[in-house]
C-alpha cells in the first residue's frame, strides 16, 4: 500500500475515534469503485467509440504506408540484381525516406491519440465525480471513500447507484 494511503487511513481512523459511538452510528459512509465506474459508464464506452472513429482514417493511412514500404522493399530485393547502381541507390533512398515518414507519422499519431484520450478521460472523471457528489448530497452521505480501501461491504458500496446516475445522464 502506498505511504500516502496508509497515512490517510491512519488519519481517518484517528479522526473517527474522536467521535462518540452515537455520532458514528449516525454517520453515513459510502464507497465507490472507480475502476468499475470506468468500465461500466456508458459515457466511457461512447467516448472510446468516438476516439476509434476519429483516429481510424489515420490508422488506415499508416497501414497503407507500411504496405507501400514493404512492396518497395520486396521489389528492391527481387530486382536488385538487374537494376543499375544509380537506380538501386534511388530506390533505397526512397525506401529510407518512406520509413522516416512512417516513423514520424506513427509518433504523431500516438501523441495525438494520447492527448485525445487524456482529454476524454479528464471529462469522464469530472462527470463521474459530479455524479458521486450529487448522489452523496441526495442521499445525505457524510463520507464517500474510493481508492485505497482494502474492503467494503455491499451495504456501503454505492457504485451501482452512481452507474445508474451516469446512465441516466445526471
pLDDT 10s digit of each residue in the chain, 170 long? 566 666 766 666 666 666 555 555 678 888 898 888 888 889 888 999 999 999 999 999 999 999 999 999 999 889 888 888 999 899 999 999 999 999 999 999 999 999 999 999 999 999 999 999 999 999 998 888 888 777 777 788 888 888 888 888 76
**Cβ–Cβ < 8 Å for 51, 120:** yes
The SS3 assignment for 143 reads strand
Domain definitions of the chain by residue range: 3-167
Task: Please give the CATH number for the structural domain made up of 3-167.
Answer: 3.30.910.20
CB atoms within 10 A of CB 162: 27
Non-local (6+) Cβ contacts of 79 within 8 A are: none
- The grid cell for 119 is 482529454
Going by the DSSP 8-state scheme, the letter that residue 154 receives in this structure is T
Amino acid at each position: 500500500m502506498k505511504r500516502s494511503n496508509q497515512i490517510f487511513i491512519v488519519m481517518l481512523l484517528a479522526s473517527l475515534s474522536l467521535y462518540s459511538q452515537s455520532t458514528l452510528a449516525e454517520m453515513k459512509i459510502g464507497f465507490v469503485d472507480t475502476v468499475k465506474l470506468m468500465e461500466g459508464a456508458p459515457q466511457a464506452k461512447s467516448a472510446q467509440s468516438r476516439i476509434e472513429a476519429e483516429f481510424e482514417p489515420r490508422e488506415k493511412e499508416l497501414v497503407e504506408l507500411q504496405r507501400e514500404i514493404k512492396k518497395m522493399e520486396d521489389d528492391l530485393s527481387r530486382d536488385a540484381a538487374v537494376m543499375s547502381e544509380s537506380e538501386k541507390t534511388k530506390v533505397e533512398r526512397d525506401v529510407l525516406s518512406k520509413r522516416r515518414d512512417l516513423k514520424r507519422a506513427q509518433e504523431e499519431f500516438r501523441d495525438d491519440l494520447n492527448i485525445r484520450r487524456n482529454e476524454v478521460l479528464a471529462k469522464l472523471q469530472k462527470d463521474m465525480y459530479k455524479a458521486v457528489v450529487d448522489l452523496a448530497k441526495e442521499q445525505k452521505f457524510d463520507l464517500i471513500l474510493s481508492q485505497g480501501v482494502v474492503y467494503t461491504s455491499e451495504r456501503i458500496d454505492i457504485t451501482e447507484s452512481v452507474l445508474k446516475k451516469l446512465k441516466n445522464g445526471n
